[in-house]
Structure 1
Amino acid sequence: MHDVILHAFDWPYREISSNAAKIAEIGYGGVLIPPPLYSDPNGPEWWQRYQPKDYRVLRSHLGRKTGLRNVIKALHKNGVMVYADIVFNHMANESRPDRLNFPGRAELERYRKERRQFSRDRLYGNLDEGLFSPWDFHASGNIENWLDEYQSTEYSLSGLPDLELNEWVIGQQQACLRALNGLGFDGYRVDAVKHLPDEHIRRVFGTSDLAGKYLFGEALTANDNEERVFLWPLLNETGMSFYDFPLHETLRRVFSPSGSMRELIDPAAYGQALPWQRSVTVAVTHDIPNNDGFRGQLLDRQDEFLAKVYIMGRDGGVPLVYSDHNESAGKYPEDRDRWANAWQRSDLKAMVAFHNAVHGQPQRTLFEDDGFLVFARGYRGIVAINKTGIWQHPNISTFGLRHGPYRCMLHGHLMELGGEIFTFGIPPRQAQLWLAE
């Protein structure tokens, strides 16, 4: 089963379609596309896609409805699932007199003047009428205490008009998802899910319309307390999966100078990772490099590589690979080419291939140490990760492993596994993904 999700962050639709065959060939099982709901077509900044103007229109800087249809068709033709990023917590923060009317008087007039063009991009509904009015929004001001559960769901995110939980809003969001289902989407990422009330989540995402769809939410947390307040209750009260920020926090701690690799043997057993069947595992998400407040969660470049090897090599969770076009490098030059086109980089391709080869095979620890870890996947896969600055040479038992030649998917090296005890050699600050030939 191929389940690795490629996050095609802010990719134009044409680029996704033209690379569909290659995405499938590498072994990705799904693609998370940018938010498709109507946003400023003239706004090249990535965050524009996270500020919807109208649910009923599919148009953005990245493409229009026809391009979106082509994406779904091309990916499905190559056996790849398609997931849409959905923003239902808020609408666009626009400077106009009627800022709480959506899409607004001027936009409705444009719909009338360009009726043919907007009819082509229409998803559902009557574009002669407005979608939301001032009484569909909270009037509580901006969130000031980010750990306050009430403020988190009832106040606004930095000026973004925050939608109220009422029958009209719920009905429009349900209608939007039904229409997106009709286009062929296989599931949805729910943006800013921790800012949606529980009842809102249940009524919009817990309907029969979404039965069989893969749903995963982004509840961004950075420590145990935030996870306790926001993430674990969502896990208990909903049926969707979530980005595994507890595991991400564990990885940050493990790869710190005082951290221990032993924590990665079974982190979910100690509440340091989500249950395997509800987890979308990440080494980085788009919010972390692109938002000032989250950059403290970035791993060192080499540690991020080691974390990706662990995520792709372990048993459990659905790995997500973030691949951008240097969106954060304009403000942070050190980010240049760090994630640009990462999806087709040789190391990521090797990790995807290894993950797919051992998918569903049990994980078993072969050697544990504070500085390095070796574990098996079934009888033909071995993962070795060394965070220290020196070579490590653990002796492992070969019981339960296939004897014979193994190739490292990352580096291309060959080794011959044999005997009852085998001595590994793991280079400093490196990792290996061995697969029996």
Structure 2
Amino acid sequence: MVKWIQQKSNIAIGILFLITFVIVLRNPVEMFPDSIGYLNMHIIRTPGYPLFLQLIQTIFGDNYEIGIVIFQILLGCFSVYYFIHKLRSNQVLNEFFSVCFAFVLLLPFISGLKIANNILTESISYSLYLILVAKFISFFISKQVKELYYTLPILGLLLITRYQFIYLIPLALLMIFWISYQQKSFKKHALIIVLFITLPLIASLADRTYHKVVHGHFVSTPWTGMNMITAAFFVSDAEDKTLFESPLEKEFFQKTHYHLMEENMNINNLDLTTFHSPTQFYIGKFADITMGPIFNNGKEVLNDSLTKIERFIELDKMTRCMVKPLIWDNFSKWKRLYIQNAIHGFGGIKYVLLYFLIALYSLVALLKRDQTEYKILGLTSLLLIGNVLIVAIGMHAVIRFTFYNDWVLFLTIFVLLNSLNKKLYES
């Protein structure tokens, strides 16, 4: 009977994969402003996705677009299958809820973002993320440290594709310390702790080496400063020019702030006819602020003798230096913007309360009972919380950066229903 149910479940999941594959192939390939930068291996793009695109172009030639889509959906289906397999093998979900959850995980491929058809980093980072989360869950339940060793290369790929996943490192360390405390043995996990701590350095070295080989400069991808300074400029005021001693930084600030005020893109002078709050304006106009007054004035004040690549590098250095004083001088406004941006990323204040409540309850419950359900709920809620909180620091928390954990609430419901079903069956 059990084997029959498993076969039916596998068939159902296979049908979902087939339907997804057909839908993806019928949809057109979507190009975005960022896509060209990845295809042309631009200096401001991290190496993971451009290298993947170069590999596909080498294999498929002029038909590279169909090759990209096929690989992205195949990787996506494999990641979903692997996630489901790990949940079933650790007895987290039964066959019925496995099929339901597989459908939820496949939604980003067939609706909304339709990630398999996009030439953007999330097209592969979502799949890598699912595989990594499956490993995290398996380690947390089984306590087998080999599961974490397998995550290291996957997390390394994620970091050089989208650096937002850096929050997974403290979360992995938290799990390791929790298991080490339970087993009263920290020495057993010393090596994996060291490897996770050094992983950002290894990823940074890979990033710098890539840019040295491709662009001739041993630098980290030069765009972090631009992302970070956007919110700082948005909440700045004219008097902030006194924060900078460098004539170059002072000129850059004055010109940029003037143009932001002139174009009603500063919090002190906004046109809220379209947006109902400053935060919604910031989220909706983030790209316009960054690529408009900030980027254009940055290029203008830099030395004309610099090459295009050198301008990006110098602009990143300058904006990185300016971020901290601007934020500290306008910390109250910046903090309010950050919190509201994060709330938007969660989907509203009710979801903020829900996810934090789930995380807190699960962690407190784990102190009393080492139960699988609490581990799943605690870990997945922290995954979602960590992602939103780090994205909101340097970006607008829109769905493109937060959808990775849209399945968490569904998994929470399925896990609770599965647990209730087991108790009813046993009684």
TM range (shorter): under 0.3
Structure with more helix by fraction = 2
> TM-score if structure 2 supplies the norm length?
0.25
Structure whose residues are more often strand by fraction: 1
Normalised by the length of structure 1, the TM-score is 0.25
More contact order relative to length (CA 8 Å, sep ≥ 6): 2
